[in-house]
């Protein structure tokens, strides 16, 4: 199976596992809510029948364009739409299929995005502090947040989304620096972080702080909480939801959501009898998160932190 997204430099993570757990109906309909360059859809198309239907969404217009190019030879491809997965219900209303046998949500950022200095996602390159998945949106960039939010708000972002104990110190340094000059590039921000917080784990520090502002810019956790129940609603009975996450801030709510839907009842544990009437709507396909094999981790560094969880709709 050729799993690479050709000409993109991006290799999808856990692709064999996604195909194994998601492709349960050879003639079915499948939806990738974060299609990227299209690697997962391409792999699904290679094991499904020609009568299957493949659909994709992505907020990144460049990714949508590349996915179409990479999936040109897939007879099952129906549509790839440039839209956020938070808009999935409105988008699906225009599809030939309205219910799906499998839905994938890959929450990671692609190498296509990371390796473009103009996108501002990586501290490895100098470029504008943008970090928007959708560069055509009117939403704030990372530079907008860093140069306008209060010290308290900055502290909250760095502590909550970057899990940094020194969030307050860095927020104060940001406020002081922007009074001297605006913080507009990734190099400006990287150098400020390293001047403020001394640690031998510089790469980890930078990655987490950049991650924090990327999450804030794109409302990632709010959108995740919104899309999970909507994805379940869009599954056929017996259809499966597969979610790949890359850090605990993503994996924790996915794990909790699936467990709640498996349990069904929301009554307190002190109740002897259920009075809420909420029935289970999912069963866990993977009891524990699936991780990449040692071989994949050696050949694809992005897979090292990846966690795949799969659940099946039962009602």
| Count of CA atoms in the C-beta half-sphere (13 A) of 68 | 12
Across 159-167, average pLDDT = 95
Look at the alpha carbons of 226, 230, 231, 232 in this order and tell me if their dihedral is positive or negative. Answer: positive
Listed by start position, the domains of the chain span 15-112+221-313, 122-219
The pLDDT-based confidence of 172 (bands split at 50, 70, 90) is very high
Summarised one tens digit per residue, pLDDT across range 23-67 is 999 999 999 999 999 999 999 999 999 999 999 999 999 999 999
Q: Which single residue is written with the structure tokens 């440039």?
A: 82
Return the SS3 of 98: coil
* Chain mean pLDDT for the chain: 93
Closest CA to 18 of 27, 33, 6: 33
- The answer to whether residue 8 scores a pLDDT higher than 60 is no
In sequence order, the 6+-apart residues with CB closer than 8 A to the CB of 143 are 120, 128, 129, 130, 182, 183, 184
- The answer to whether residue 3 scores a pLDDT higher than 60 is no
Give the pair of three-digit tokens for residue 185.
């590039």
| pLDDT for residue 44 | 97
The pLDDT-based confidence of 315 (bands split at 50, 70, 90) is confident
How far apart (Å, rounded) are the C-alpha atoms in residues 86 and 30?
17
Across 251-262, average pLDDT = 97
The pLDDT-based confidence of 10 (bands split at 50, 70, 90) is low
Q: What percent of the chain has pLDDT over 90?
A: 86
Q: Which single residue is written with the structure tokens 């498996």?
A: 262
Q: What percent of the chain has pLDDT over 70?
A: 97
How far apart (Å, rounded) are the C-alpha atoms in residues 122 and 206?
9
CB 120 within 8 A of CB 129: yes
Return the SS3 of 82: strand
Instruction: Name the superfamily (CATH) of residues 15-112+221-313.
Output: Vaccinia Virus protein VP39 (3.40.50.150)
Burial 1-38 (b: 16+ CB within 10 A, else e): eebbbbebebbbbbbebbbebbbebeebbbbbbbbbbb
The model carries a pTM of 0.91
Summarised one tens digit per residue, pLDDT across range 216-239 is 999 999 999 999 999 999 999 999
> What phi and psi, each to the nearest 5 degrees, are found at residue 229?
-65, -35
- For the domain bounded by 122-219, which CATH number is listed? 1.10.150.170
């Amino acid at each position: 199976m050729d799993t690479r997204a050709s000409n993109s430099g991006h290799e999808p993570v856990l692709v064999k596992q996604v195909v194994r757990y998601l492709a349960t109906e050879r003639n079915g309909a499948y939806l990738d809510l974060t299609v990227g360059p299209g690697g997962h859809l391409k792999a699904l198309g290679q094991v499904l029948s020609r009568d299957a239907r493949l659909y994709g969404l992505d907020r990144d217009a460049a990714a949508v364009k590349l996915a179409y190019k990479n999936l040109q030879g897939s007879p099952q491809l129906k549509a790839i739409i440039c839209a956020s997965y938070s808009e999935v219900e409105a988008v699906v209303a225009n599809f030939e299929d309205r219910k799906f046998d499998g839905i994938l949500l890959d929450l990671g950022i692609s190498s296509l995005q990371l390796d473009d200095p103009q996108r501002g996602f990586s501290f490895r390159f100098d470029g504008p502090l943008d970090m928007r998945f959708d560069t055509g949106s009117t939403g704030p960039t990372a530079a907008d947040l860093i140069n306008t939010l209060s010290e308290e708000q900055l502290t909250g972002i760095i502590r909550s989304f970057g899990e940094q104990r020194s969030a307050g110190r860095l927020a104060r340094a940001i406020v002081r620096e922007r009074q001297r000059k605006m913080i507009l590039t990734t190099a400006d921000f990287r150098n400020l972080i390293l001047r403020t917080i001394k640690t031998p784990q510089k790469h980890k520090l930078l990655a987490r702080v950049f991650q924090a502002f990327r999450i804030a810019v794109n409302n990632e956790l709010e959108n995740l909480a919104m899309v999970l129940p909507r994805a379940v609603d869009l599954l056929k009975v017996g259809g499966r939801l597969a979610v790949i996450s890359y850090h605990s801030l993503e994996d924790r709510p996915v794990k909790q959501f699936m467990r709640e839907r498996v349990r069904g009842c929301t009554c307190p544990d002190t109740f002897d009898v259920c009075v809420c009437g909420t029935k289970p709507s999912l069963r866990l396909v993977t009891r524990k998160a699936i991780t990449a094999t040692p071989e994949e981790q050696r050949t694809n560094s992005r897979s090292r932190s990846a966690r795949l969880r799969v659940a099946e709709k039962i009602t």
